[in-house]
Each structure stands twice: as structure tokens, then as C-alpha cells.
Amino acid sequence: MKRVVVVGVTGSIGRQALDVVRRHRDLFAVAAVSAHTAEAGLAAAAGEFGLPPRWVCLSGRTPTVDAVGRSGAAGLADMIREADADIVLNAAAGSDGLPCTMAALSSGKDVALANKESVVMAGRLVMDAARAVGRRVLPVDSEHSAIFNLVERIGREYVRGVIITASGGPFRELPLERLASVSVEDALAHPTWNMGRKITVDSASMANKGLEVIEASRLFGLAPADIEVVIHPESRVHSFVRTLDGSLYAQMSRPDMRLPILNALAWPDVVAEDLADLDPALAPVTFHPVDGRRYPMLGLAYAALASGEGAANAYNAANEVAVAAFLDSRIGFTAIPAVVESVLDRPWPARLDDLEAVASVDAAARSYAAEGLREMQ
């Protein structure tokens, strides 16, 4: 039986991870849980799985109930390191996930990674840390889970490229001239997936796909030119792998995040499950090219990836600042790429050789993004 630490247990991925455990109690047990500020949901999860306070952490504020025994970012990192667990499901939001990933790897645990920012910010350092302790980074994003499982079966040496699919979000058919006036509620109305607020806005702008392009490069050792993105509104094909002979292999399922969560937690085993079964006769699929005018955040991500590790880190940081401003109704939707582009126009180091350098670039990019926001207002 695998023992699992769930970071971000009250979020969309965390709640679905608990459902995977419920469906397969013979395979998985919950060893520890955390949430950022949702204390009631955290305490409920701890009670359901019989966790003592030592293995329950509220990372974003001081707990008010006895069921939660740890708090703060340092308390979360300590809990991850100390837990008697085999794998850490990291569903923390944004840059807060990087310390969780490193704490898990440094303590000899596999990481089921739903926090793509860890790899975008410090991909080489994360992968080096995993290799140093003989552990794996197992992607939970549906797209990277698909690529990972296809590459594991085909063999990396036979793969020459990947195609990542994108739903296109809620604005894929909206006239371009109306994008500047869309509301926060419009951006949060995703047509396919039920996700958190930040990642849903990222899907609408395709910043999420830009982060996934950077993540795919880091996880699978792919050059930018070897990673394509196509619009696939039905979200049934989660990615393609192209082999040396030009053949395309796809992973298809209903859009249910419990499948990639299960695959990551169970790896290298394959567990019998039918929750995402797809009947291809009843599920037509279509594909369209990405319109760069509608989704400038994707082009900015490719440019950041080509520029180096510092620019990729800055892309993530600037986007987090810009999206937070949009969610607070301080800027319009089309200002998000404008803020990010202004940050990427500055010089950034090609390599980030330690976590201190990562943190320094992250802080500088956030400062420049905040400066850009002030100039817009």
C-alpha cells in the first residue's frame, strides 16, 4: 500500500485525489494533508482519514482548531519531510509549490506533480534533485500525464516531438475586439474543466498552455521546436507523441482528472478503473490551429523558453501578478499579456544554478510586474 501526502487537499485536484483514495483503499492511504487557508475543509479531510494534528498543516494562516497541528510554509515543508509516506501529491497553487516539491524529493519521496510552476521555475534543479535520490517526478496535468505514459511505453529514444492539446477556454470563439471587455466571471466559465480560479483564467489566456510547454521541455528534454499546441475543444485527446517514423500516438479519455491522479499515484503499476472510459463512436474530436492574436501568452511562453531559465521563471511570476490583478478587477483581461511582455523585455539570466537564484528572479519579476501595473492605472 502506498502512503500519500496531499498538499492542497481542499482544492480541485486535492479533493479528486481523496476520491481516488476512497475508490482504491486497498492501494492507497492518506499520510498527511495540507491546505492554504481553507481550515474547515482541511479539518474535515483529517477527520475522515483519521489523521492526528501532527500530520495536518494550514500553510497560509494560523490554525484555530485543535485538529490542525502545523502552520506556515516552514511547517508544511517539515511535515512533508517527516511524513511516513511514499509519494507527495503536490497540488499547491503557483510558486508556493516549489518548496513542497523540493522537500518531498530531499526526503526520498516520489512527487505526483500538479504544480507545474515547480518545473517552470526550477526544472533543471527539480529533475537533478529527483535523480540524486533515485525518485521520480510523475506529472498529474492531464497533458503531461498523457505524454509521460506514452513515452514510458514507447521509449524516449523513439520520440521526436509532442503535441499538447488545449481546450481554448471560454473565449475561443469570442470576437477579438471583445476580449478587452470580458469580465472575471466570463473568464471563470470554463467549458470543459472544473478548476481553481487562477488556473481557469490561465486557461482562458492560454498562459496555462504556455506553462505546460515550458514544463514539457523540462520534464522530457524537448526543444521548443519539438513541442506543438493545437486547439481541441472536446478535451478528449490529452496529448500526442510523434515517433521517429512520423506516427502519432494519442492518449484519449473523458476529461476526468482522477485518471491522471490515479496513474501518478499508482505508477509504475496500472490500476483497473473505468471512471474515464470513452466510447469513440459517441465522442467526435476536432482540432484547430492556435490563433496567436487571441492567445499572445502562448507565444510569450515560447519566447521565454528559448531565452533561458531566468525568462521562464519571470514569465510565471509576472503572470501570477497579472492574473491576481485581473481577478481583483484592477486590470482588464488583455492587460495580462501586456504586463508579462513588459517583464520579459528585461534581461534575465540564461541559467539559474540554485534555489537562491530562482527566488531572486521570481522576486524581481514580481516587482517589475507590479511596477507595470502601477503604470497602467
Dihedral angle of Cα 77, 79, 80, 81, to the nearest 10 degrees: 90
Dihedral angle of Cα 302, 303, 309, 314, to the nearest 10 degrees: -100
* pLDDT digit string, tens, across residues 8-36: 999 999 999 999 999 999 999 999 999 99
pLDDT reported for residue 284 = 83
pLDDT reported for residue 192 = 65
* pLDDT digit string, tens, across residues 129-180: 999 999 999 999 999 999 999 999 999 999 999 999 999 988 998 999 999 9
pLDDT reported for residue 252 = 93
If 0-12 CB within 10 Å is exposed, 13-18 middle and 19+ buried, where does residue 78 land? middle
String of DSSP letters for 68-86: --EEHHHHHHHHHHHS--S
If 0-12 CB within 10 Å is exposed, 13-18 middle and 19+ buried, where does residue 286 land? exposed
Radius of gyration of the chain (CA): 20
What is the distance between the alpha carbons of residues 32 and 10, in angstroms, rounded to a whole number? 13
Q: What mean pLDDT comes out for the span 334-346?
A: 97
Beta strand pairing status for 159-166 and 227-231? parallel
Long-range (24+ apart) CB contacts under 8 A made by 51-59 are 54/79, 55/31, 55/79, 55/83, 56/32, 57/32, 57/33, 58/34, 59/34, 59/35, 59/92, 59/96
Confirm if 239 and 165 have CB atoms less than 8 A apart: yes
- The mean predicted confidence, pLDDT, of the chain is 94
The band of 275, judged by pLDDT with boundaries at 50, 70 and 90, is: confident
What is the distance between the alpha carbons of residues 78 and 96, in angstroms, rounded to a whole number? 14
Domains and CATH numbers, the chain: 2-139 (3.40.50.720), 141-255+275-297 (no CATH), 308-377 (1.10.1740.10)
* pLDDT digit string, tens, across residues 304-327: 999 999 999 999 999 999 999 999
pLDDT reported for residue 11 = 93
Helices (H), 221-334: 258-266, 296-307, 309-327
CA proximity to 106, closest of 85, 129, 76: 129
Percent of the chain exceeding pLDDT 90 equals: 87
pLDDT reported for residue 193 = 61
Higher pLDDT, 299 or 95: 299
pLDDT reported for residue 195 = 66
Percent of the chain exceeding pLDDT 70 equals: 98
pTM of the complete model: 0.91
pLDDT reported for residue 375 = 86
**pLDDT of 80 strictly over 90:** yes
pLDDT reported for residue 197 = 84
pLDDT reported for residue 94 = 81
